[in-house]
Structures are given as structure tokens and as C-alpha cells.
Amino acid sequence: MVRNMVVLGGSSHPHLTEAICNHLGIPPAKILLGKFSVGETRVEIQESVRGKDVYIIQSGGGKVNDHFMELLITISACKTASAKKVTAVLPLFPYSRQSDIPYNKVGAPLARVGPGQPGGSAAAAAGGKPGYTFDSRPQTPYPGQAESAGLANGSDMLHRQLGRLQLDHRHANGVNGIAPTRQSTCGSEDNSNFANNNSSSSNSANSSTKRRSDTQDSETSNHSGSPLTKPPNFTPQRGYRQWVAQAGTLVADLLTCAGTDHVITMDLHDPQYQGFFDIPVDNLYGRHLLRRYIQYKIPNFREKGVIVSPDAGGAKRATAIADALGMPFALIHKERRPTQISDRQNATMMLVGDVSERTAILVDDLADTSNTITRAAKLLKKEGAQLVYALVTHGVLSGDAIERIKASALDKVVVTNSIDQTENARRCAKLEVLEVGNVFAEAIRRVHYGESISVLFNYD
């Protein structure tokens, strides 16, 4: 029984709150969570937290925005009720993939587009249904874009902002017989290289603004008489997305403003996200759980197994497990250049390493749509793997993820219950769930008594 501690559970994951409280030997505090008919969140803490250390359990899956708002209100309620210290326990940190720029495979927001629009798939065009694109929407501003239908249909505010950023359409297109030699920072491949070389790949507003004014300077000099050539055809460049919100900073600020004194989380997608806070953030590792699963549940893992990272970003995490278990390692490289490979599904993935006749064990921090792990599994089987496991810390499994897994080459998907998996496990026999309640309970206990958290990172 721990003293002077209150554990409050948000509505995202009651099972985990219960598991944590069981380990700590205290009941969860009474809290009323609901909604007013207008949809606003209602929180009422039904017991005293005065002078107590409060731990609020709320995870980032499911109705993530509602859960986050509920968390902020609960933190604030604890503070105004004179709690001594408030710790937000976020097994999956919400918005953690938006710590810098919006996530996706190529670094631009995944957007729905209508048939016939740039980026709309052929299938979408044929079926008349909207498709999805990894292109930035709205597109990177470029000369003349204000006249395009896409922008005309966009919000007025965005339109105005983009309009301010645009170069003179007539200059860029050589109307009036004047065309700049280097017309824009956000145009052709050539120009994109030019911009990157001069900006150390920074996307910040300042550097972007600077690049733009450099360009305008160069245009002016062109006007003053140097020989001018027709610019290359303009294609919008990926990468410059000044108008896209960087929600990670906002989320960190909101938590701090609401009154959070401490954050406990697990396997942050980007560990550097901790640096967005000026309060302590304990980022627990899920890999110990995954490692133990391999040791105790995967037959002949040492002789037959190979750890695979589905992308370069997860290589460090995967090699840590491979090294600890003395296992070989393979990497799937996502090739973004066009190739002649006829199998379009796998055209952008290449395997580095040998999985032939082996049990391939994919390791990743999270599976959301499960596109990554299902595509990786297909490739691994094609390369001769006998069995494919996917071991991921956070099973977000949104949208059609469960159907995708069921239909995939994956033999087993192992996730922790950092997000509630009750329904997913019921729907998918391939899914196995590891308990994280004990890990979080021990972290909470250690934080509460001022004991070392790092020992939690070292256990086998």
C-alpha cells in the first residue's frame, strides 16, 4: 500500500488503470467522466486530492482528441483542488508522431483527394471515389497556384496566406518576356536541390522566408539585364510545408499549462520529443517485454530467428533486441525512387539481409494502419522467410488494420496493451497482447518514492 498517492483513470483504458492499481495495492480514485449534450467534456473528481501526488492514466489510442481533452481537464481539476504533484501517465503518447512535421511515409500529410485531382489514384478515378495521396495538400505554393482549382476551393484564410507567399505569376511563367533563371525555391527538382543546399534542409519559417527573399533578389537581378533562359517546367516540391501545424509542441505546452508536473510514457516514436518539455519525462522501453516474448514464446529463436526492422527509423530499436539476444539482423529499406519492379506493392521496399528459411521477427514501435508490417511480411515471405512475427509496442490498429492483418502474410502480431486491445484481440486470432500494467505500476511506485527509474531499463 503506497501512501499519499491517488491514481485516477481516464476513459481511454479502464483495464490498464485497474491493472496498475492492483499492482500498487490501491483502488482507483472516484472520478466522474462524461459529456454534456453539446459534446463538451465533463470531469468531476469525487474525492479529495489535497496535498496528494496524483497519477492520471490516459492513453493515446481510440478517440484520441476526446481523451486528450479529458486528460487536460482532469489535470487542471487536480491542480485547482490543491494536488501536490500531478503526473500524467500516457502509455501511448498522443500526437507523438507529430513531434516535428506530420508523419507519413514520404514526409507530407496523407490527404484524401478526389478522382482526377493530382494524386488521386487511377482506381479512385475509375471508381469515382476519393483516393489517398502522400502529396502535401494544399500543394506547396508555387507561381500561379492561386488560380488553380484546388486552392480556389480551399479556405479563404489559407488562400490569403499562400497568396502572400507566392511569387509573381507573370514573372515565373515568363509572361511579358521575362523569366527568371532560378525562379522559385519550391519548384522543380533542380530548384529543390538548390533550396536544400542553401538551407541545411531546414523547414523553419525563417529559413523558408529567407530562401524566398533570396529568390526574389535573384529575380530582380534578372530584371536588370542578364541573359535569361526559359525556366524548367515547374513541379511542386515536397518538403516545404510552412503552413502545416507542428502539433507536438502544442501538445507538450498544453500538458504543461494544464499543470502537469511529470510525464511517464513508453516508447516515444521520437525520443527527442522529451526535449519539448521543461518538466521530467520518463520514457519507458517496451523492448524488454518484446524481448522476453521472443525468448519464451518463439521456438528456436536463436538458431532460426532473425530480427527485422521494417524501416531505417526503427533500426536502433531492433538492433538493440538483436544484440541482446545474439540474433542476426535484417533491414527493410524503403526505396523512394521509381523502379522497374513489376510487383508494385513491394516496389518501394528492399530487404537488406538474409531471412531465407528463417523465422523473421519484425520489431517496431507502433502499428497504426498496419500497412508497414503487412507489406513487410509480404516481402519477407517472398524472400523465403518461413514464419513472420510482428512485435510492436503500441497496437494503434486504426481503420481496417485488423482486416489487413487477418488477410496478410503475418503469422502472429504481438502488441502490448498500452492501448486497450480487448476488442482487437476478440476480432483477430493472430493478435497476442502483452501486459504493461506492471511496468507502469513499478514506474509510478519508483517516481513516487524518488527511486531510480533507470533500473527499469536494465532488467532482463
Ligand X SMILES: O=P(O)(O)OC[C@H]1O[C@@H](O)[C@H](O)[C@@H]1O
Contacts of 179 (CB under 8 A, 6+ apart): 171, 172, 173, 222, 228, 229, 230, 231
Residue in 18, 66, 168, 311 binding ligand X, rule: CB under 6 A = 311
Stretch that binds ligand X, among 1-9, 85-93, 323-331, 361-369 (CB under 6 A): 361-369
The residue written with cell numbers 520514457 in the block is 283
From the list 128-136, 248-256, 307-315, 345-353, the region that binds ligand X by CB under 6 A is: 307-315
Q: Which one among 76, 173, 216, 369 touches ligand X, defined by CB under 6 A?
A: 369
Nearer to ligand X, 25 or 313 (CB): 313
Of 313-352, which residues contact ligand X (CB under 6 A)? 313-314
- Distance CA(86)–CA(6), nearest Å, equals 10
Torsion sign over Cα 72, 74, 77, 81: negative
Q: Does 270 bind ligand X (CB under 6 A)?
A: no
Q: Pairing between strand 31-35 and 41-45? A: antiparallel
Per-residue x/- track, 122-151, ligand X (CB under 6 A):
------------------------------
Part of the chain binding ligand X (CB under 6 A), chosen from 23-31, 215-223, 328-336, 358-366: 358-366
From 2-10, 211-219, 308-316, 416-424, give the range in contact with ligand X by CB under 6 A. 308-316
Strand, helix or coil at 240?
coil
Interface with ligand X includes 411 (CB under 6 A)?
A: no
Would you count residue 287 as binding ligand X (CB under 6 A)? Answer: no
Q: Does 103 bind ligand X (CB under 6 A)?
A: yes
* 88 touches 261 (CB < 8 A): no
- Contact between 97 and ligand X per CB under 6 A: yes
CA atoms within 13 A on the CB side of 160: 3
Work out whether 52 is an interface residue with ligand X (CB under 6 A). no
d(CA 165, CA 147) in angstroms, rounded, equals 14
Task: Give the closest residue to 75 by CA, choosing from 94, 89, 62, 61.
Answer: 89
Residue whose CB is less far from ligand X, 59 or 370: 370
> What do you get for the CA distance between the two ends of the chain, in Å?
26
The DSSP 8-state label assigned to residue 44 in this structure reads: E
Q: Are 19 and 437 within 8 A, CB to CB?
A: yes
Please tell me whether residue 94 binds ligand X under the rule CB under 6 A: no
**Which residue's CB is nearer to ligand X, number 132 or number 277?**
132
Binding of ligand X at residue 364 (CB under 6 A)?
A: yes
Binding site for ligand X (CB under 6 A): 97, 103, 269, 310-311, 313-314, 364-372
